[in-house]
Amino acid sequence: MIQVDLNGQVAVVTGATRGIGFGVAKALSKAGAAVACIGTNAEKLNASVEQINSDGGKATAFICNVADSAAVKQTAAEILEQYGSRVDILVNNAGITRDTLLRVMTDEQWDDVIAVNLRGPFLVTRAFISAMRKKKYGRVVNIASISGMIGNRGQANYSASKAGVIGFTRTVAKEVANRNITVNAISPGFIETDMTAVLDPMIVTEMKNRIPVGRFGQPEDIANAVLFFASPEASFVTGQIIAIDGGMIM
């Protein structure tokens, strides 16, 4: 884990229940930030927060569907009230998949993915950006995907949503740069999470063969990049999209 000092800062991480989101929340906490963890599964989210706190960190659980505008506004208000109207770091990580070929994809499968993966970052960023502007400081990190950069068969909805996140990142970066707020995105490749754990072994082997470094990434690989983007040292880096994929799309 890279060494970054975030003592005294407040971070918000969506989709913090497991996988990349949990890894990011842990890393931010170890760096000294107080972390507001957002998720939809109360049992799993509370367990994740308890683990962070038992390791000496400071984390709080907030149940919220990031695709629900009213819920996001309410949750943001609660977080800002709890942390003195301050949020320094926002990581938009919450995401879902509903993979299937376009010809059989339902309206619901399209809408569900776009709602969480693209509407979610819009709603959450909008909810916190005013507080960052008032403080004249902020770090927004959006979790996109290499699928949003190169496409992926059976993921028209997911790839479109993540491509949207990339465009959203670059646009918002231009809008808030003059307030000392940076907005960047990370595009993970194949990362070892609960999602990849259920893949057929033959698919896992095929995917690893497509990755030059010969392995899947770990949530810590993404967390390290988030720590850099979230740090004061990254003040001159904004509107950037970094693929962390073991060289898969280079």
Question: What count of other Cβ atoms lies within 10 Å of the Cβ of residue 239?
Answer: 15
Buried b (16+ CB within 10 A) or exposed e, 94-127: bbbbbeeeeeebeeebbebbbbbbbbbbbbbbeb
In the set 110, 137, 158, 229, the catalytic residue is 158
Residue 97 has phi, psi (to 5 degrees) of: -125, 150
- Alpha helices by DSSP H, listed for the chain, are 19-30, 42-54, 69-82, 107-114, 120-135, 147-150, 156-176, 194-197, 201-209, 219-230
Maximum distance among all alpha carbons in the chain?
A: 52
Contacts of residue 132, defined as CB under 8 A and 6 or more positions apart, other chains included, come to 87, 88, 90, 138, 140, 176, 179, 181
Round to the nearest angstrom and report the end-to-end CA distance of the chain.
24
| Cα separation, 89 vs 240, whole angstroms | 16
* Token pair recorded at residue 159: 């790839």
| Cα separation, 212 vs 215, whole angstroms | 8
Identify whether 83 is a catalytic site residue.
no
Name the percent of the chain in helix, strand, coil, to the closest 5.
50, 15, 35
What amino acid positions are annotated as catalytic residues?
Answer: 158
